Structure 1
Amino acid sequence: MSLPRIAIDAMGGDEGVRTMVDGASLARRRHDQFKFLLVGDEPRIKAALEPHPGMSGASEILHCEDVVAGDEKPTQALRRAKTTSMGLAVNAVKVGDAGAAVSAGNTGALMAMSKLALRTMPGIDRPALAALMPSLGEDDVIMLDLGANTECDARNLVQFAIMGAAYSRIVTGREAPSVRLLNIGTEELKGTDQLQEAAAELREASGLSLQFDGFIEADKINRGQCDVVVTDGFSGNIALKAIEGTARFVTDLLRNAFTSSIRSKVGFLVSRPATELLKHHLDPNNHNGAVFLGLNGVVVKSHGSATAQGVANAVAVTARLLENNITERITADLSELEDTRWNGSGGE
């Protein structure tokens, strides 16, 4: 299948141009159909491309020296959307020069620029930031929103559930992914009014390509008990940072334990296959690529500190969404929801 090219904000992220170009090249070595629009300072991009001769025929450079700073306020970044590498990468999607955009830059600025340029899909009030997270199940769990919307009402949560389920069908291949709402308990009467209203609507909806299984607590997010976890951006971002922090804590704890004595070092050599598997599972680079769902276009946020491996994974996520027409899937599911609401309100 021929894919539209992917616009890469080559200037975003902590590691700079070389890591973004190395990651794009790694992704192309795995899937030689990928083509790129590399947006950023042309001399630096050309220098980064020198070790990757296979990228020359698959890449075009859009020169731009202006960069969105990591600590820049979204409102300030918006004023320079037409001159920054991030803004031009997103605009390439808007005007059809690229099928999707990937950036490792400022998350707030990327969301603001994406919303302004691409607008939200019909039937979606707010886009949500969704990401794949490791689990004990057969597949990664999708969680949203992870910080795009600090306050959400029941309607937003229902829309997030539909978008997350559409993404999960692409990842897992399941026709009706299991969806749960993040709550302080699993009992039906617990939680805020917004959670109660969203749960009631999801229970009553028929025809949706998802299975609503009630509430889930934060300590069960990674247990593999569902495919999609839905929450507001405030709670979701806190949960995400807690999970990432715990993963780093466990990794550092094991490292300290295995280097504390000669006996521990011998124990490490014996258990190395298991610890390497654990390290691989907890490495955020292997789950890199958060998606802004609900826009009229595909925009993927790579972690700012991602390695080339992480950037390659973000590109792979982007391509998967393009291949499987994520926006069309969400549109079809929203139509099913509206039909359910109409039929449930007494429409004949």
Structure 2
Amino acid sequence: MIRISIDAMGGDHGPKVVIPALNKVIERRPDVRFLIFGREEQVAPLLSQHERVAKASSFTHCEIAVRMDDKPSQALRHGRWKSSMWKAIEAVKLGEADVCISAGNTGALMAMAKFCLRTIATIERPAIAAIWPTLRGESVVLDVGATIGADAHQLIDFSILGAAMARALFDLERPTVGLLNVGVEEVKGQEEVKEAGRVLREVGLASLEYRGFVEGDDIGKGTVDVVVTEGFAGNIALKTAEGTARQLAEYLRAAMSRTLMARIGYVFAQGAFARLREKMDVRKSNGGVFLGLNGIVVKSHGGTDDEGFAAAIELGYDMVRNRLLPRIKADLDSFHSRQPAPAQKPADPARNAAQ
């Protein structure tokens, strides 16, 4: 049984999307149990309409719902202990749930998750990892917004975290990893990126295969299984890809309705267009996984529908079922065991004489 805690108040639509999404998940994943946190006056009527969800869930009333425009510090200060977001995360910390899902305020969710769950001992800052559709299938891309700016050590951490996620999701023994850069040549890019590449190349980890630098167009090509960057560039890349997908969809829709012959052609090509829509459906890849914490938290897009929120839940389900956290900790231990011990400072003769 996979136990999933749900912040029912998160997102643009709250329980109206969340509860129907839970019903879809139960149909596909009957071995789940939900711990739902939210305002009773909004959640209870919906649970009464979805009997299967009610039977597979426990519900806890929460007085506070974190708003989408709340500042992270404000949400943390006023939302701790009583908000549906905090309670959903806390259920993971207390061992009552295996994973937390929320469509709420990203900054608030990350702040609360870091405060409640803490980062894994050797991780300085967490990352948000997204599933990216590619010409070869799917890739993991991180960070897409948690850490703005990253040094070499953090980029190495992200590589290890992303590779562990790719192994868990894609059943790969040794995922390929690339660092996003302005060119594939080793002399190009920021010093932090070049230093991270040097370490990954020299250390030779068994958990991943470092392929060097990759460029922006390599993300969609699926050149590597894991693309690593810092959160500023990663978030821009993600939003650009989402906008481009919507732009292409509008272009196709306009082209297919422009003339009579185009409309007739659309009738004959309906099957192909249906497959294209499915490939470009951002709901299928909904859900960003917070990596580097002592627990699994998945952030759903705030404006998604019930199918998109269900996809985020199923992503969290897969992370638990495939033992993401144990994989991450084992990979980090392996990396740090290969690192040379820090050099000890020479003794100070004057200080020893004084003692």
TM-score surpassing 0.5? yes
Give the alignment of 1:270-285 within 5 angstroms. Answer: 270-285=268-283
AA paired with 1:113?
M
What displacement does 1:308 show? 0.9
Match of 1:12 in 2: 10
**Higher Rg of the two aligned structures:** 2
Give the alignment of 1:30-49 within 5 angstroms. Answer: 30-49=28-47
AA paired with 1:240?
L
SS of 1:212 mapped into structure 2: strand
Give the alignment of 1:26-105 within 5 angstroms. Answer: 26-79=24-77, 80-105=79-104
CA contact (8 A) 1:206 1:340 kept: no
CA contact (8 A) 2:19 2:53 kept: no
**How does the TM-score come out when normalised to structure 2?**
0.94
- Per-residue CA distance 1:248-303 (angstroms, 9 max, x = gap): 10011101111112121112112211111111111111011110000000100011
AA paired with 1:62?
T
Distance in 2, Cα, partners of 1:217 & 1:206? 22
What displacement does 1:43 show? 2.7
Give the alignment of 1:318-333 within 5 angstroms. Answer: 318-333=316-331
Distance in 1, Cα, partners of 2:65 & 2:8? 10
SS of 1:221 mapped into structure 2: helix
% of aligned pairs identical? 43
CA contact (8 A) 2:169 2:322 kept: no
AA paired with 2:161?
M
SS of 1:273 mapped into structure 2: helix
CA contact (8 A) 2:168 2:323 kept: no
- Per-residue CA distance 1:172-200 (angstroms, 9 max, x = gap): 11110010000011111110000000000
What displacement does 1:55 show? 1.6
SS of 2:297 mapped into structure 1: strand
- Per-residue CA distance 1:112-171 (angstroms, 9 max, x = gap): 00000000001111110001010111x311000000011100000000000000000011
SS of 1:35 mapped into structure 2: strand
**How does the TM-score come out when normalised to structure 1?**
0.96
CA contact (8 A) 1:208 1:337 kept: no
Distance in 2, Cα, partners of 1:81 & 1:75? 11
AA paired with 1:221?
I
Runs of 4+ in structure 1 deviating by more than 6 angstroms, as ranges, are none
Range that drifts further, 123-132 or 80-89? 80-89
What displacement does 1:245 show? 0.7
What RMSD, in angstroms, separates the aligned Cα atoms of the two structures?
1.3
AA paired with 1:312?
A
What displacement does 1:53 show? 1.3
Give the alignment of 1:87-236 within 5 angstroms. Answer: 87-137=86-136, 139-236=137-234
The size of the alignment, in residue pairs, is 342
CA contact (8 A) 2:175 2:209 kept: yes
Distance in 2, Cα, partners of 1:81 & 1:297? 18
CA contact (8 A) 1:168 1:177 kept: yes
Q: Which runs of 5+ in 2 are unaligned?
A: 344-355
SS of 1:69 mapped into structure 2: coil
